[in-house]
Amino acid sequence: MLTVLESESSDNVPGNDGFRDAILSSPVRFGGRFPRSPGDFSCGSPLPMTTTPMAGFGPVQVYFGEKNGKYPDGNQVVIRGSDTLAAFDTPLVANRIGEVLAPVDLVMLSHAHEDHMAGLHRLAHAQVYVHEHDADAARSWPGLAAHYGLSPASLPAMHDKIVTEFHYVPRPDAIAYPDGHVWELGGVRIHAVHLPGHTAGHCALLVEPGGILFIGDIDLSGFGPYYGDASSDLAAFRQSLARLAGIDANVWVTSHHRGVYTDRARFAAALRAYAAKLDERNQRLLDLLRAAPRSLEELVHERLIYPPEYQEIWVVDAERRTIGLHLDELLAQERIRQDETGRYVVRVAS
């Protein structure tokens, strides 16, 4: 679920983002834009041709979903070792690159959400890995429902939606991996880096050699971070953004929208702008509460993240959770307090 809304204007400024450097209209083989010499990682057979835009970085190919992977689509990452073919997540675009995905042996999920599992129904033969904190969500619908934390009345409609729109199937066979797990693909290694907050088990996946870092739903979008599910955590998200800034990489790939960064300075600037959204949201809440004390439900009604006219099955639950996390943070910082009616009030010094 997720960062559905996005400012078109902010993301379509030519030259504004690194991904524009890397999106190519036809398949590209290894080399070219790759910042290190990657060697030959092919499995001995040529890449299947596809009309889906893609970019190549050593052993990694990125297939871009519609609108550069904007939700509900995403960007498909495929990693070719000398003896194993792996995929990071399976967004909707996975269903349009059948020849590329069909021989995949391993799928490493960055986390469990419907838009990252939309091609798993095609890959019954593949081993699916997911971080141990998201494993229940990948393995069963009750697990995914608990992970979302939706109101019980919303669950049947949500199930119908993800089956219809995302080809949802649970993967009871999903294998749990811990932080720091390493996969060997033959001349290529993948390291799991636990970066929770979006979900409890959200991870980045680092491909070596090459330093290609898939950062999942830390998507650097203009919308900002999403942490509206039951397993989301604002404090963990802040820590993950700080940890991400310190990871040594050459290429950064997002699940959605921003696509690919090949320039560290541009990536760092985008990460700072993305992280700044957290404090901007605190400030917006403080401004609302300064105007008048409000209860949680009154704030949910007014909305912090999504426009009031935006209607989705999950949006009110996501607003409630997101606002609640910010209120908890502001309470802990003693910037707000609750009055005798339970409404939140700005402390004078804040």
The footprint of Zn ion (CB under 5 A) covers 113, 217
Provide the CA 258 distance to its chain's centre, in angstroms. Answer: 11
Distance from C-alpha of 80 to C-alpha of 48, rounded to nearest angstrom: 13
Given the complex with Zn ion, which of 61 and 255 has the nearer CB atom? 255
Nearest-approach distance from CB 240 to Zn ion, in angstroms: 13
Given the complex with Zn ion, which of 239 and 295 has the nearer CB atom? 239
Nearest-approach distance from CB 111 to Zn ion, in angstroms: 6
Distance from C-alpha of 103 to C-alpha of 184, rounded to nearest angstrom: 17
Nearest-approach distance from CB 112 to Zn ion, in angstroms: 8
Burial class for 292, CB neighbours closer than 10 Å (0-12, 13-18, 19+): exposed
Nearest-approach distance from CB 33 to Zn ion, in angstroms: 28
- Residue pair 22/60 in contact by the 8 Å Cβ criterion: no
Who's near 284: CB < 8 A, 6+ residues apart? 304
Nearest-approach distance from CB 198 to Zn ion, in angstroms: 6
Q: Which residue is nearest to Zn ion (CB)?
A: 113
Given the complex with Zn ion, which of 81 and 228 has the nearer CB atom? 228
Cβ atoms < 10 Å from Cβ of 169: 16
Distance from C-alpha of 88 to C-alpha of 212, rounded to nearest angstrom: 12
Counted residue by residue, the chain has a size of 350
In 216-334, the DSSP E strands lie at 251-253, 260-261
Nearest-approach distance from CB 226 to Zn ion, in angstroms: 7
Given the complex with Zn ion, which of 34 and 237 has the nearer CB atom? 237
Provide the CA 185 distance to its chain's centre, in angstroms. Answer: 24
Given the complex with Zn ion, which of 109 and 323 has the nearer CB atom? 109
Nearest-approach distance from CB 283 to Zn ion, in angstroms: 25
Given the complex with Zn ion, which of 17 and 217 has the nearer CB atom? 217
Distance from C-alpha of 185 to C-alpha of 165, rounded to nearest angstrom: 32
Provide the CA 88 distance to its chain's centre, in angstroms. Answer: 11
Given the complex with Zn ion, which of 113 and 257 has the nearer CB atom? 113
